[in-house]
Structure 1
Amino acid sequence: MDYIIKLAFVLLIFIYAWFFQAQNQEWDIDRELLKHAINMAVHDAAQEMNESERASGRLVFDPAAAEASFRETLKANLGLDDSLAPRTGSRLRSKVEVVDFVVIDESSGVTFPFLYEDSRYGITKFLQGPSVIAVIKTRHPVLIARAKTQEDIQVPAIQEYKFNK
Structure 2
Amino acid sequence: MHKLLFGVLMIVVWWMLHGVQMDEELAMGTLHEGKRAIDRAAHAAAQQVDRDKLEWGVLSISSAAARTTAMDYLQANLRLGTDLEPQPGSWLREGLEVRVFQVINEDVTFPYTYRNPEYGYEVTLDRPGVVLIAHMKYPRIFGILAPVEWDLKGTAELVYT
* Residue equivalent to 2:149: 152
Shift of 1:26: 0.9
TM-score calculated relative to the size of structure 1: 0.87
Matched, 1:2 2:6: no
* Residue equivalent to 1:60: 60
* Residue equivalent to 2:72: 72
After superposition, give the CA deviation of every residue in 1:48-101 in whole Å (9 maximum; x if it has no partner): 221121122222222111111110111111111111111111122111111111
Separation in 2, partners of 1:59, 1:21:
48
Tell me if structure 2 keeps the 8 A contact 1:128–1:162.
no
Which aligned runs of 4 or more in structure 1 are off by greater than 3 angstroms?
Answer: 161-164
Shift of 1:133: 0.6
Tell me if structure 1 keeps the 8 A contact 2:139–2:146.
no
Tell me if structure 2 keeps the 8 A contact 1:79–1:90.
yes
Matched, 1:161 2:141: no
**Aligned positions, number:** 161
Shift of 1:163: 8.4
Matched, 1:127 2:128: no
Shift of 1:162: 6.9
Matched, 1:114 2:112: yes
TM-score calculated relative to the size of structure 2: 0.89
State the identity as a percent: 27
CA RMSD, Structure 1 to Structure 2 (Å): 1.9
Separation in 1, partners of 2:116, 2:20:
32
Q: Which runs of 5+ in 1 are unaligned?
A: none
Q: 1:78 to 1:162 in 2, by over 3 A?
A: closer
